[in-house]
Structure 1
Amino acid sequence: MAASRTRVAVLVSGRGSNMAALIEAAKAPGYPAEIALVVSNRPDAGALKTAADAGIETAVIDHKAFGSKADFEAAVAERIEAADITLICLAGFMRVLSASFVERFAGRIVNIHPSLLPSYKGLDTHERALADGVRLHGCSVHIVSAELDAGPIVMQAAVPVLSDDTPQTLAARVLRSEHVIYPRALAALADGSARLVDGKVLFDTQAAPAEPLIWPTIG
């Protein structure tokens, strides 16, 4: 009998390009996670149609319909628990989760952030990176903690910052890397090869790169 796959819920607010990358990865034979539920706080989120077209169960829990953040999060939590979900992936979910919600699913909520954490937490990461003149920028998959963008890092990808970059061109380059590392990080968490131990994510095996990434190259 084939091993059961880890059931994953994805929380979205917009078009859900990272959600789509997770769905595509989960189609592969042997991928250890199943995207079982997509929840949006916005009824007009484009991600809902993408998920429905892929045959994935969807739910709309509009935060505007609740009198408090606590009531909204309680409804989201109940929907997730009713679906027997193990891991929760945030993919453009534009609501900051409360400490109580994070604690309810401690160590089980994963996020993708468009910077090399701990640098550039919060918003406008690409504009801030360009303003600071950094040569490498990137993205991070991390376990969600009560403090914003401060949880244990699972995986990162670095991209070069080009001399003619705008926030838009840099964002596009980073997004392509997000679509690569988010499915890989989810797979490692789902199959247990990456584990949260004493506040850090440890991998069973790691292969060191042949050489460091250096940018810009000269000559």
Structure 2
Amino acid sequence: MSVTSSPARLVVLVSGAGTNLQALLDACADPSYGARVVAVGADRDDIEGLARAERAGVPTFVRKVSQFTSREDWDRAMADTVAAFDPDLVVSAGFMKLAGAEFLARFPGRYVNTHPALLPAFPGMHGAADALEHGVKVAGATLFVVDPGVDTGPIIAQRAVPVEPEDDVESLHERIKVAEREMLVEAVGRIAREGLVVTGRKVRYGSAGK
């Protein structure tokens, strides 16, 4: 993604409460942040993430897998709908569906996601729980460029979160989520203002010409 003079256009995808979305909406209220949320999409109705967008006056859309005859058709519809908003960056903010081949092909290097572990360790649905069960002393959060694998894409940013002796999964995950939101807001702002270059597994801020 290259930097633009106007605010970067963000499409944010959600499946639940939308706390990461809210953090982005709050950040975008400052013109110096360099981005604005132009649409929020979801795979289900009646979730707080959509309500947050509506309260902020941001257009929303819902595309349920059950509305389509195949997962590929759903993926194509999601790609078409997101593309109609002409995004510079697509952000998965707790979106619980894996993007398919067509979606990834439409937004190469421009679809990012967070994970509550220090990848490549502990990918999958239970990052914090797996880290705690393994007995690690440091957990954390990762922001990465989405690729066809599960939490395998090139890493943009990471935040470490110490594991306390008294931690259970809930307490550790709550602290990870705080770090995750901070990391997401900081990184998306830098991407918006500076651009992002992905070369193989290497990721850096800036434009391709630098």
- Give the structure-1-normalised TM-score: 0.88
- Higher deviation after alignment, 33-42 or 67-76: 67-76
The residue identity in structure 1 corresponding to 2:138 is L
C-alpha deviation, 1:79, in angstroms: 1.1
Give the counterpart of 1:130 among 129, 132, 137.
Answer: 132
Alpha-carbon distance between aligned partners in 2 of 1:32 and 1:139, rounded to the nearest angstrom: 23
C-alpha deviation, 1:193, in angstroms: 4.9
The alignment partner of 2:32 has SS state of coil
Give the counterpart of 2:185 among 180, 183, 199.
Answer: 183
Alignment of structure 1 residues 153-164 onto 2, 5 Å: 153-164=155-166
The alignment partner of 1:30 has SS state of helix
Partner of 2:54: 52
Go from structure 1 to structure 2 and tell me whether the alpha carbon gap of 1:202 and 1:177 turns closer, same or farther (over 3 Å shift). same
Partner of 1:211: none
Give the counterpart of 1:118 among 101, 117, 120.
Answer: 120
Give the counterpart of 2:65 among 49, 63, 66.
Answer: 63
The residue identity in structure 1 corresponding to 2:198 is L
Contact 2:79 2:102 in 1 (8 A): no
Partner of 1:12: 14
Alpha-carbon distance between aligned partners in 2 of 1:176 and 1:84, rounded to the nearest angstrom: 30
Partner of 2:26: 24
Alpha-carbon distance between aligned partners in 2 of 1:61 and 1:100, rounded to the nearest angstrom: 15
Partner of 1:195: 197
Partner of 1:145: 147
Alpha-carbon distance between aligned partners in 1 of 2:179 and 2:29, rounded to the nearest angstrom: 19
Percent identical across equivalent pairs? Answer: 36
Give the counterpart of 2:76 among 67, 74, 79.
Answer: 74
CA deviation profile, 1:90-120 (whole Å, cap 9, x unmatched): 0111111123321221101000111001100
Contact 2:43 2:62 in 1 (8 A): yes
- Higher deviation after alignment, 79-88 or 131-140: 79-88
2:174 is equivalent to residue 172 of structure 1? yes
Contact 1:12 1:39 in 2 (8 A): yes
Partner of 1:210: none
Contact 1:189 1:195 in 2 (8 A): no
The alignment partner of 1:189 has SS state of helix
- Give the structure-2-normalised TM-score: 0.92
Greater Rg by CA: 1
The CA RMSD measured in Å over matched residues stands at: 1.4
Between 1 and 2, higher relative CO (CA 8 Å, sep ≥ 6) is seen in: 2
C-alpha deviation, 1:125, in angstroms: 1.2
The residue identity in structure 2 corresponding to 1:100 is E
C-alpha deviation, 1:197, in angstroms: 2.7
Contact 1:136 1:161 in 2 (8 A): yes
Partner of 1:207: none
Structure 1: tracts of 5 or more residues without a match: 205-219
